[in-house]
Amino acid sequence: MADEKQTGMASKIQKVLDELRGTEEWEKSRQAFRTIIGNLVHGEKSKITDEELDRHLLQTLTITQDDINRHLDSTRSSVPEGEKAESRYYVVTAQHNRNDRFFATLARDDDRPTGSGNGKQTLKARFQAKNLYERFRINKTITMPDKTQNLRNLRTGDFSTWKSIREAMANKNKIKQTFDLTKPDQVESVWEVVSKWGDWNSVEGDLFITPNLKGWLGISANFSPALFAIYFFWRGESAAKGIFVVITADGGGTPKSPFIGLVNGPADPRKNVFDSKNRFAFSYLSNEKNPVKYWMDVPVDHIQGFTLGIQTFFPSRPTPYIEVISNFTPAKEDDKDYFLNTWDLPNKFIIMKAFLMRDLIKPYYPNSGYSRLWDDVLIGTEGLLALLSKALLISDDKLNTPEAHPPWDQKPIVVDVTPATIPGALMQTSYTSASGWGTSNLTVETSGEKLDRAPAPLVKFREERFDVFWKAADGSLMDTWLNGKTWVTTDLSANGGKNLLSAPAPVVGFKSGRIDVFWAASDSSLMQICSTDGSNWTTANLSEHGALLASEPAPVVREKGEVHVFWKHGDGSLMDTAWTGSWRTTNLSSFGGKNLASAPAPVVGFKSGRIDVFWTAAD
């Protein structure tokens, strides 16, 4: 009886939609959508066709007979008989942060939207979305759930069966081809783990996949469809020593690209950060060439929860313009009931997604008459959204509830790059003979983070490169650097640059082509991080050589291969932790270096081979 009622309602809704297609209102919305997305967002170089735009419009704002059929098919449980797990359902809370600091510039070679901006503005937006995932234990003997059939024909690989997944990782070449990892050492690190698994007889896995919700739009209506499925694979006791595979989806919820990486266990969050490319345009503001960084942190055990981080970049801009941090936790009963038993939930989700797209795209073209076309698509008495609401029997008062509107934490805004924009910003005042003095706000242009200590600049590491190291409010070591044309900020906390108590103290010249940065950690340890390329960093704790600081460290290079780091001891002594073939710490109090009331200030070069150190005495 229930199936007959659903089929009857499906026929009724389909009849309404058939009547809408071809009407003046429908055609007006269709053309508005084509103009906005095809011409303005993708630009003249776009290869997207009118047919593809029509398909996206239908997927985003309407339902089709296929959606209805998919929903009717989904009324059967996709859970294998007898499947039991510690937690069957998980809620993901995804924090979306957009920081497009090259807002609406007029270049077309950067794979980013074009518009009327001058390149000195930043588009900022932040919202939070929730979704539900179902967990399945999988291995060589367990049949995969029905829904994995959607993973059969991805752009690179088949992830619908245990056998096909194993074949996607059969050797290093297959891993590179399937997952498009852009760094060879990351392919090697994955293969080092997988190669030990042999025929996978002893390998276990868990699959997290979005369940079907009650409503006419089926899976394509999920509010945040970017993550279609997540796999964990491991051999032994813990998934924290295994690998993960993420299957991303396009804006319509269709699975597209797989990503692979090593799981970061409890002791090393963000240790392994992997690099790939989008390989498809998730939204109208992205491109298949956009680089992607991603990582998976498992604080205790993935059954108790885990965090997936994804950052997307423009090819020529190393600072991410989108970051999504997704926290997975076991679902409570209320969460499960809301997601699984709210009949029109998918309809509400699709309306929220439509409003999100409208609010996000409009700021890119604030002075364009075309921005008003979104009203024809989404709102107004005869807009598609209003017609869709009537067809889906959603009352006007539901559309006006907070639940039906975008959950913006920060609605899209355009921020001018001016000195007074952000308190605690990293500022630069510079002089050239051609331009005179000028001031820039590097925080707005790069990270959006605030400084917690004075910045420490460093030059001559590389030609055309300029580094400024600083401490963030959470104790992370940050590096804002000029790559010849553009300022970029890199968070070095994933590389061990964390728990800073003092400002960082950088030095160059200790070894050819090398940067060293020192700081006092929160436990008073003397910490060092170094790099020979500015991208890969190594961290060391020098406290085992007798260094427990009561001041900021002050490094100098006396000559190549010899570095001295001066600091104040808790008893006021002047201390010297030096590398002259090995690390050693010397107490200089017997040479008069005592009663320090300040951090030491060393300098070299007064005379050849000489070091001078100055300080404020306690008296």
Query: What are the structural domains of the chain?
Result: 135-324+337-341 (no CATH), 451-614 (2.120.10.70)
Residue 221 CA to residue 352 CA, distance in Å, equals: 10
Of the two residues 46 and 450, the one the predictor is more confident about is: 450
Residue 607 CA to residue 447 CA, distance in Å, equals: 41
- Mean pLDDT, rounded, for 574-588: 91
pLDDT at 73: 43
Report if pTM > 0.75. no
Per-residue pLDDT reduced to its tens digit, 465-475: 889 999 988 88
Residues whose CB is less than 8 angstroms from the CB of residue 563 and which lie 6 or more positions away in sequence, other chains included = 507, 510, 516, 555, 556, 557, 578, 579
Residue 574 CA to residue 545 CA, distance in Å, equals: 15
pLDDT at 375: 56
Query: Residue 403 pLDDT > 50, yes or no?
Result: no
pLDDT at 564: 94
Q: Is 174 helix (H, G, I), strand (E, B) or coil?
A: helix
Percent of the chain with pLDDT over 70: 64
Using CB atoms within 10 Å of the CB of residue 294, give its burial: 0 to 12 exposed, 13 to 18 middle, 19+ buried.
buried
Query: Residue 186 pLDDT > 90, yes or no?
Result: yes
Of the two residues 500 and 53, the one the predictor is more confident about is: 500
- Mean pLDDT, rounded, for 584-603: 91
569 neighbors 550 (Cβ within 8 angstroms): yes
pLDDT at 65: 45
| Neighbouring C-beta atoms of residue 82, cutoff 10 Å | 5
- Mean pLDDT, rounded, for 56-71: 49
pLDDT at 396: 41
pLDDT at 131: 84
Of the two residues 343 and 532, the one the predictor is more confident about is: 532
- Which stretch of 73-87, 117-131, 150-164, 271-285 has the lowest confidence by average pLDDT? 73-87
Query: Residue 135 pLDDT > 90, yes or no?
Result: yes
Helices (DSSP H) in 277-422: which residue ranges?
A: 333-341, 345-361, 373-378, 384-391, 396-399
Tokens (6 digits) for 112: 């980013």
Averaged pLDDT of the chain? 75
Q: Which CB contacts under 8 angstroms, 24+ apart, belong to 281-284?
A: 281/250, 282/226, 282/248, 282/250, 282/251, 283/251, 283/357, 284/37, 284/41, 284/42, 284/251, 284/357, 284/361
Number of alpha helices (DSSP H) and beta strands (DSSP E) in the chain: 13, 27
Of the two residues 360 and 115, the one the predictor is more confident about is: 360
Task: Report the 3 state secondary structure along 224-267.
Answer: CCCEEEEEEEECCCCHHHCEEEEEEECCCCCEEEEEEEECECCC
pLDDT interval class at 611 (50, 70, 90): very high
| Neighbouring C-beta atoms of residue 257, cutoff 10 Å | 25
Query: Residue 412 pLDDT > 90, yes or no?
Result: no
Q: Closest by alpha carbon to 207, among 241, 230, 235?
A: 230
pLDDT at 380: 42
